[in-house]
Amino acid sequence: INKHKVCVISWFGVNFNCNPKALAVYMSNHVHDLACKVLVIVDYPNIYKGDYPNLVFVRTHSLRHIYCLATCRVFIANVRMASFCKRKGQYYVQTWHGTGPKKSEKDSIGTLSKSYVETAIRDCEQTDLMLSGSGYFSNWIKRSTWYKGKILECGSPRCDVFFNQEDYEKSKKKVFSEFHVGNDERLIMYAPTFRSLTEIEDYGFDAKKLIGTLMERFGGKWKLLLRFHPNVAKYPIPDIFSKYLGKEVIDVTRYPDMQDLLCASDALITDFSSVSTEFAIQNKPCFLYAPDLDSYDRGLYIKPEQMPFPLAKTEIELLGVVAGFDEASYKKLVDKYSLFLGNVEKGCACREVVNEIKKYL
């Protein structure tokens, strides 16, 4: 074990993002204080090397990947890791990737494969620390996962960007530059949770009508960002949206960092995803569009009426809640919701997590 080596991986290495990225970047900016080397396991290392000179990028499934997992002092991941077998002397931080109104882990065990459950149990058993951004999330960890260890209720590292104006503007500019968005244009993102392609087609809406309604209610020029779940990323965009691609609609499904998109978006449409809670931290308008509310098979912890976000089950209702959005009332409901969740997000999660990790370096 190399006591000066920290290894991070997000979503099995598909992209460099989420909580592991936030922690890795923070540690790279404090590398002299920590006296450690931070290695990032990712599918395409060359994409990132120029932007993060203090980080070492390692290709997934390479011999070096295996060596990193076997010899790092600290390992950081955001999903259940079947490939990691913790050795004596290693410290494992499981950041997770957020939880929202939809049920998951133990509470959705009927929809999970046997192999996933086995991996989840084993992952929990070897985890030394889990992170939480709220009392609600801490209780979820205790009640709905197989983890019995220490919980650091300090906030979510990936949410720190919402509290740092310089980082926030930098993230926003990345998106505007990548997709050639004008400085006079505003963005609304549609980010539904996982469904089959057929269901996404059925639960779409007319982007042109939505943009017209946004212009009437909020003024300015608007474009729609489409952010589909990674499970359907490889499929074509549904026809209801594709006819407007390049005009009113931009496909951002393959963009690597959701936090950049949340910073760039002025409004959000989602359903049962945890992204609604993160968007509420910014006090930006968020709308729930859930035509399948009564038939969603995963079940919900929190009913829509307990949340501050205007709910629509049809396209007509969606246009109606956008047109009738009341900012003052929404702000009060968001504040009440934050208290209900026991939100502890203050923009200093990375610092608190790294202070905890320093004890073991």
Task: Please say if the pLDDT value at position 328 is more than 60.
Answer: yes
Answer yes or no: are the C-beta atoms of 56 and 37 closer than 8 Å. yes
Task: Please say if the pLDDT value at position 5 is more than 90.
Answer: yes
For position 247, what pLDDT does the model report? 81
Compute the average pLDDT of residues 299-317.
Answer: 90
Counting every residue written for the chain, the total comes to 361
Q: Give pLDDT tens digits for 144-155.
A: 999 999 999 999
pLDDT-based confidence at 240, cuts 50/70/90? confident
Range with the poorest average pLDDT among 55-64, 176-185, 243-252, 336-345? 243-252
Task: Please say if the pLDDT value at position 209 is more than 60.
Answer: yes
pLDDT-based confidence at 50, cuts 50/70/90? confident
For the chain, percent of residues with pLDDT exceeding 70: 95
Mean pLDDT of the chain: 90
For the chain, percent of residues with pLDDT exceeding 90: 66
